[in-house]
Structure 1
Amino acid sequence: MTIDELYDELLTQAADDRTVTVAAEASTRGPEARTRRLIRSVLDDLFQDASFAFDETLVKDNLDELLLVLIGVRGSKTHGKALMGDLAHLFDTQLSPGTVYPRLHELAESGVLAPREMVRTKEYRVSERADAVRRLERSMRQHLALAAVFYAALEEL
């Protein structure tokens, strides 16, 4: 099975009525609710076990991509403090400002994010959608490939 086939299979499994309902409801409840519903629907579709939790090291290792996802899904009120709150609430990860803000600044310096100066903070938005999509697709393929290797190895153990 190729990575694209595996991804297509995951999408097919996630395309039930519940996911469609969640997506429709999410558009009317603001950026925080939309983000929570997106992640919750993915986890519900992939895992029947409600005790699943993200590993903090994995979150840190994929922080750039997670920030791009959160900023892209949120669409508004995307300042560092709100993003840190999202990471804590959605991924059960307490990251320090010294971890999150340098990543935001580097993403802005690379041109994929555009910061907007506010009175006491900066709000971020995705400025280079194509670059953000490429980054997320590359990361997704890496993770799916690794998952496929793990899955295949289960049969060998």
Structure 2
Amino acid sequence: MVGTTARDDDSDGPRTGITVEALYNELHESVETADDAADDPDARVERVVRGALDDRFSDDEFGFDEELVKANLDELLLVLVGVRESKTHGKALIGDLTDHFGAQLSPGTVYPRLHGLADAGFLDAQEMVRTKEYRLADTVDGAHRVERAMRQHLALAAVFYAALEEF
């Protein structure tokens, strides 16, 4: 496993020797913990996504790769539905994916995934007049699925960081 030491200097180079847990803790600390009850769903999504990215990824060159967003679409949808908490419909989720992740995903990509998550028991879908509203069926199951995906990505990040030291 990669060690827990971080970069000792103030250089802009990559940090090496960081563990998955250290990356998790760093990301976790960057997300604001303010009372979310009074916020509207859009503000909650903005705070979570932008709070997680903050200064580390604020340059104009950073952007999510659309294929990576597609590959992780189920987990991203669970995150967005969980953060929004209520009145979450496909159109709002597609907007979140565009606004926060730069992904131009069609309804033909997003809606089947929402239906699949509902069929698998991760989401509850309430039929409305012209749409469905989604919410997490079980926050614990949803959180476990998102955490598994997060740990996979953090482990890859730790490997990438360690590899950069060898280049």
Scaled to the shorter chain, the TM-score interval is 0.7 to 0.9
Structure 2 counterpart of 1:67, one-letter code? L
Alignment match, 1:3: 20
- Secondary structure of 2:53's counterpart equals helix
Distance 2:22 2:99 in 1: 32
Alignment match, 2:101: 91
Question: Number of paired residues?
Answer: 150
Alignment match, 1:72: 82
**Structure in which a larger fraction of residues adopt helix:** 1
Deviating runs (4+, > 4 A) in structure 1? none
Kindly indicate whether the alpha-carbon contact (under 8 Å) linking 1:84 and 1:95 is maintained by their aligned counterparts in 2.
yes
Q: In the TM superposition, what is the alpha-carbon distance from 1:43 to its structure 2 partner?
A: 1.1
Alignment match, 2:164: 154
Q: In the TM superposition, what is the alpha-carbon distance from 1:37 to its structure 2 partner?
A: 1.7
Structure 1 counterpart of 2:157, one-letter code? A
**Please, what TM-score do these two structures have when normalized by structure 2?**
0.82
Q: In the TM superposition, what is the alpha-carbon distance from 1:10 to its structure 2 partner?
A: 3.5
Q: Which runs of 5+ in 1 are unaligned?
A: none
Deviations 1:24-53 (A, max 9, x none): 4x5433001110121111111433524421
Q: CA RMSD in A?
A: 1.7
Distance 2:26 2:132 in 1: 39
Instruction: Tell me which of 48, 70, 79 is aligned to 1:38.
Output: 48
Kindly indicate whether the alpha-carbon contact (under 8 Å) linking 1:27 and 1:34 is maintained by their aligned counterparts in 2.
no
Q: Which runs of 5+ in 2 are unaligned?
A: 4-18
Max Rg structure:
2
